[in-house]
Amino acid sequence: MNNIAPTHFPIDDRLATRWSPYVFSEQPVPRDTLRSVFEAARWSASSFNEQPWRFLVSRKNRDDTHDRIVNCLAEGNQVWAKHAPVLLIGIYRHRFAESGKENKAAPHDLGLAAGQMVFEASRHDLFVHMMIGLDPAAARRTFGIPNDAEAYTAMAIGYRDAADNADASLREREAKPCQRLPQCDFVFSNQFGTSAEF
């Protein structure tokens, strides 16, 4: 399958070919490659350089962490995510460490760090499927996440499985064409809803 975004304007090839598969190869992700993916998060921008992101990571067949993360996912995600060689939970800390004040940018900063991870992963021919279908309370209980932090998202990381022996319904979901709103629907000028003219 060759999912290339039908972009309206030129962008980096790694962005144009980024997509979220439901079928992952059983091929393990090398440790050093995974370290590079997290290094991309490490150098992400954040409000006041707070770096509020935290990640719980598991590599399949290493210990029970992978199964424990699967059990924190929404049922629909468990079906396919359990096969991914790497699963992780993205967490953010609510408050600035120094002042104790609420960090309203924390979810945004976690998202930006995750975005950089996706971009770095693509450099290694890895694919990432982001999931919001996660039970934060279950993650808190399962992994001892403190009250000043929130499990917010999950990610499946791995190589794409090109074989045709996967569940037909998952392959059908993967076959849907990439679609996005045109820029005129989300880039505004003058007032909200007025398409920007450059």
Domain boundaries, the chain: 14-163
pLDDT band at 17 (very low <50, low <70, confident <90, very high): confident
User: pTM of the predicted model, to two decimals?
Assistant: 0.89
Judge whether 41 and 115 are in contact, CB under 8 Å.
Answer: no
Nearest to 134 by CA among 143, 126, 146: 143
- pLDDT bracket for residue 165 (50, 70, 90): low
CB 133 within 8 A of CB 74: yes
pLDDT at residue 14 greater than cutoff 90: no
Token pair 């770095």 in the structure block, residue: 120
Phi, psi angles (nearest 5°) of residue 109: -65, -35
User: 14-163 maps to which CATH number?
Assistant: 3.40.109.10
